[in-house]
Structure 1
Amino acid sequence: MTEPEGDLPMIRQFRDWIQKSPSESDPERSRFFTEGVIVLDTNILLSLYEYTPAARQQILDALRNVQSLLWLPHQVGLEFFQNRHRVITGRKRALEESQRALRNKISEAKQALKEARSQTQKMLIRYAQDTEASSRLEKQISDKVISDLLSDLSSTLESQASRLREYDISVSPSSDGDTVLTQVAALFKDQIASPPAPEVTRRRVEDASLYRFPNLIPPGFKDAGKGTALASSGDFLLWEETISHMADSESRSHLLFVSNDTKEDWYQPSGEGRNEPRPWPYLKTEMRMRAGAELRIETPGAFYRGINHFLHAEITETTYAEIDRAAAGATPASITEAAAIRTPPPPDLVTAALDAAGLEDALVYTITATAHRSLFLWWLIGATAQLERRPLIDDEPDVLFMPATRQTAQPDPNWLPGIRLHLGEWPYRSSSWIAPWFVDTLNASSVRDRKILQGLAAQQLAFRPRDV
């Protein structure tokens, strides 16, 4: 008699590799929302700072429906407190920059109208010799008329922009004024993990850096080499801590892990008959083998829709759109020069890079060309990470371009020879080419910032051998 296919030992042992990608209609899914352990990744908690107040409140209310199932690993809590200040500061800076940009646009509009008037006057005189019409135009569209015309419009725009201040959340070492922090703490109550013993952490870091990462075993191997061994092992430390927690109790049979991290060290790329990536089957197998528990991994949009479906939480379509928009706006895994021009750098990364380099905040606003500003900020993010001036941030992309190169041939017709930089400030004046956006940035910088930027660029070149 032939055994049913699912009962064959080989099929049963490798079932995670042949099963379809997880679906929201899986019959077993409800158990994860009603009787499982739910772990929220750090990026899920930090994203609460990015939502509007109304959406944030709906999401927190929805999470209270599964409050009894939540558990906070120590690694998640640690990363949350390490990055909380950076996220809030980056948000505040982005709001301030938007208001400054608005004022600049209004000023540019005034100047454009004046230039249009002047150009028309020149045409009237040059082609019609009509000085009278030119004089009438000067009176009809005077500087005062232009200011009055734009006054109401600018007031409306500025009043709307000023409303953004209501979305600010204060930053302090304690919880004073930070409503997100206090609500998150109340959400988890005492369902939080204690710090692992130092020797346990050391053993796990060694396991990650010496065995798992070199062999591309998920999770976290994409972070290998980013900063110190401890800093690059965050995902694996979270994974090990969670497995240990699940294994400590036979009653914990289902784990739902919610994360916005869909890199290749958590998700298997599409292929082999699959149209989209799926969580690595290895993770499900390891969780079952070591902890006797079933694993399900979901993105925030799917998770919150699950709470709504199974527990009837009230989440509006507007909030779902905000959740999905935040997830879709994730930064690419790597940034080329072309990508840098069309991809705005995340405010939290900009803040971290400026602080790490010790640059004046005003520098960002003195760079007039938008493309040059974006290229500069992405390079600064990459340089401060590469030179270990700051710790890497979760899901931070690799920046694949530099502001200078040492080679005989000119890399691009627009690149300038190193002799364009000041004698005594740039060590490669006779042997380098400089990107035009970097020259533009240096010209807009103070003497102090100029020296800092050239020092960073020179240190980067010192890591790369000279091209012939």
Structure 2
Amino acid sequence: MNGPESEYPLIRQYRDWIQNSQSEEADREQFFTHGTVVLDTNVLLSLYEYTPAAREQVLGALRSVKHQLWLPYQVGLEFVQNRHRVIVGRKKALDDASKALRKKLGEARTAILDARKLVQNLLIKYAQDANSKEVLESEISERTVRELHCTWSKTLDDHVQKLKEYDLAVSSVNKEDPVLSQVAALFGDKIAGPPDPAELRRRVDEASSYRFPNRIPPGFADDGKGTPLSSAGDFLLWEETIGHMAASPERSRLLFVSNDTKDDWYQPASNGQSSRPWPSLASELRMRTGAELRIETPGEFYRGVNRFLNAEIADETYAEIDRAAKILIEAVITEHAAVHTSPNPDLAAAALDAVGLDESVPDSIRDADSRLLFTWWLIGVTAQLDRRPRFDDEPDVSIAPATRSEAPPDPDWLPGQRLHLGEWPYRSSSWIAPWFFRAVTRISRHDRQILQQLAARQLDAEHE
């Protein structure tokens, strides 16, 4: 809003809420040419999802803003912790693809022969046409279908096998990670050091006791995601960035780039107002640092780099940028999300069947929240431990029934000694989530042992 009315204190103070969008397009260029640029972890991890040609174009675009980049400690930490997970996730997806191909082609082979038999039966039943029945037997014989099955299977599997060695194989990344080295060169020494432990604890306490309960952005949607420290990741990033911007009056513009458009960063659309970054974020940054804020998705950001800094990015690369963004923002079921989300009944049934549990087991858990947490955990752990094939579009699950640590992640967690002697291997070195304790104490010994063995195997896998 411009003009004399913009000088009124009320309009000036609440301008972030009054204006319909972020800063005007004319001012946008200043963020690319003179602003501090902060990339969220998901933007860096996306580099592993691109083809080599697209990755090189994206890195070239980032080099055009190299002197404006700054890496918060939290982003760097999450990047180095999760980069291997992204590569392993690609390997698992390709391994699962080979299994899925065999299953689907086998089902197709059976379906074709069943379809032929159906028509043959109809020919005999309604036309007594034995000749056509024999012709079908010859044209769509088991041998013909088997040969076609082998040909198609080889063609499809060859493509999958080539993808396993394409660009970023897990074995090569273990030895030398080309993405990591290029990201390190991109930021140089413009990275933040670790925060003071006392300050870190203060920030985590502020997030869990004040900001998250009051749904103050950013990061409140991660409340209940593992430990309080892991839940506070977005808020820790925000606080670091505010401290960096406040340290120098020359830092007058912040361009923050992220795939994350959940409602703890973006105000949901309503009453004719389209979704937009929360105005309170811009207000808070200005109040505490005097700087202006602009938040953009990777697609918007790279198009801006192309427009204002003449970076060469092909249309195909923009398509990859958008595709990678979707991959990394797929739903993850946390404890907070689980108690508000009912799982697909077929998915829940498959998880129970995978470990030999009756469908009545969840019903024995009286508390509704505990029942949902248990069901989602079972869905997640059976997929994680390869006890069943994943469903299409199945969400990842981040719910822990137990942990091994000196202190409990939350005061409500119970010591491992509360579980039965001889059934739980970590009685003296673990903490048990209260919902899991309620679940295993209300079922038969046989079912209880199955669940505790699953939880123990999950702990072992996470500590390997």
2:148 equivalent in structure 1: 149
Give the Cα separation in 1 of the matches to 2:57 and 2:238.
29
Matches within 5 A, 1:6-85: 6-22=6-22, 26-85=25-84
Return the offset for 1:86. 1.6
Change in Cα spacing, 1:165 to 1:225, as seen in structure 2 (3 Å) is closer
Give the Cα separation in 2 of the matches to 1:73 and 1:22.
23
**Which runs of 5 or more structure 2 residues have no equivalent in the other structure?**
348-376, 406-434, 458-464
Matches within 5 A, 1:160-309: 160-167=159-166, 169-171=168-170, 176-271=175-270, 273-274=272-273, 276-309=274-307
CA deviation profile, 1:56-85 (whole Å, cap 9, x unmatched) = 222111111111111110000111112112
Q: Secondary structure at the match of 1:5?
A: helix
> Which letter does structure 2 place at the counterpart of 1:385?
I
Q: Secondary structure at the match of 2:78?
A: helix
1:462 equivalent in structure 2: none
1:387 equivalent in structure 2: 401
**Which runs of 5 or more structure 1 residues have no equivalent in the other structure?**
342-352, 392-401, 407-421, 428-447, 457-468
Matches within 5 A, 1:375-454: 381-382=396-397, 385=399, 387=401, 424-426=445-447, 452=453
Give the Cα separation in 1 of the matches to 2:320 and 2:314.
10
> Which letter does structure 2 place at the counterpart of 1:387?
P
Return the offset for 1:278. 1.4
Give the Cα separation in 2 of the matches to 1:340 and 1:71.
46
Contact kept in structure 2, 1:253 and 1:293, CA below 8 Å? yes
Give the Cα separation in 2 of the matches to 1:140 and 1:208.
69
Return the offset for 1:38. 0.4
> Which letter does structure 2 place at the counterpart of 1:233?
A
1:436 equivalent in structure 2: none
> Which letter does structure 2 place at the counterpart of 1:426?
D
Q: Secondary structure at the match of 1:39?
A: strand
1:313 equivalent in structure 2: 311
Note the aligned Cα RMSD (angstroms).
3.7
Contact kept in structure 1, 2:382 and 2:388, CA below 8 Å? no
Give the Cα separation in 2 of the matches to 1:136 and 1:358.
47
Query: May I ask how many residue pairs the two structures share in their alignment?
Result: 385
Contact kept in structure 2, 1:170 and 1:178, CA below 8 Å? no
Contact kept in structure 2, 1:209 and 1:224, CA below 8 Å? yes
Contact kept in structure 1, 2:46 and 2:325, CA below 8 Å? no
Identity across matched positions, percent: 53
Change in Cα spacing, 1:87 to 1:114, as seen in structure 2 (3 Å) is same
Contact kept in structure 2, 1:35 and 1:69, CA below 8 Å? yes
Q: Bigger shift: 251-260 or 221-230?
A: 221-230
> Is residue 2:358 matched to residue 1:337?
no
Give the Cα separation in 2 of the matches to 1:361 and 1:15.
51
Q: Secondary structure at the match of 1:216?
A: coil
> Which letter does structure 1 place at the counterpart of 2:18?
I
2:359 equivalent in structure 1: none
Give the Cα separation in 2 of the matches to 1:354 and 1:56.
37
Q: Bigger shift: 323-332 or 241-250?
A: 323-332
Q: Secondary structure at the match of 1:27?
A: helix
Contact kept in structure 2, 1:125 and 1:134, CA below 8 Å? yes
Change in Cα spacing, 1:389 to 1:108, as seen in structure 2 (3 Å) is farther
Change in Cα spacing, 1:100 to 1:288, as seen in structure 2 (3 Å) is same
CA deviation profile, 1:18-75 (whole Å, cap 9, x unmatched) = 122126x621111111111100001111122222332222211111111111111000
Contact kept in structure 2, 1:212 and 1:218, CA below 8 Å? yes
Return the offset for 1:304. 0.7
Give the Cα separation in 2 of the matches to 1:162 and 1:386.
34
Q: Secondary structure at the match of 2:194?
A: coil
Contact kept in structure 2, 1:64 and 1:187, CA below 8 Å? yes
Give the Cα separation in 1 of the matches to 2:49 and 2:344.
27
Q: Bigger shift: 9-18 or 87-96?
A: 9-18
CA deviation profile, 1:187-224 (whole Å, cap 9, x unmatched) = 11211111111111111112222222222221112222
Contact kept in structure 2, 1:340 and 1:374, CA below 8 Å? no
Contact kept in structure 1, 2:51 and 2:167, CA below 8 Å? no
Change in Cα spacing, 1:135 to 1:271, as seen in structure 2 (3 Å) is closer
Give the Cα separation in 2 of the matches to 1:340 and 1:49.
33
> Which letter does structure 1 place at the counterpart of 2:106?
S
> Which letter does structure 2 place at the counterpart of 1:290?
R
Change in Cα spacing, 1:216 to 1:107, as seen in structure 2 (3 Å) is closer
1:323 equivalent in structure 2: 321
Q: Secondary structure at the match of 2:184?
A: helix
2:413 equivalent in structure 1: none
With the length of structure 1 as denominator, give the TM-score of the two structures.
Answer: 0.72
Change in Cα spacing, 1:255 to 1:186, as seen in structure 2 (3 Å) is same
Q: Secondary structure at the match of 1:97?
A: helix
Give the Cα separation in 1 of the matches to 2:20 and 2:91.
43
Q: Bigger shift: 278-287 or 298-307?
A: 278-287
Return the offset for 1:265. 1.6
With the length of structure 2 as denominator, give the TM-score of the two structures.
Answer: 0.72
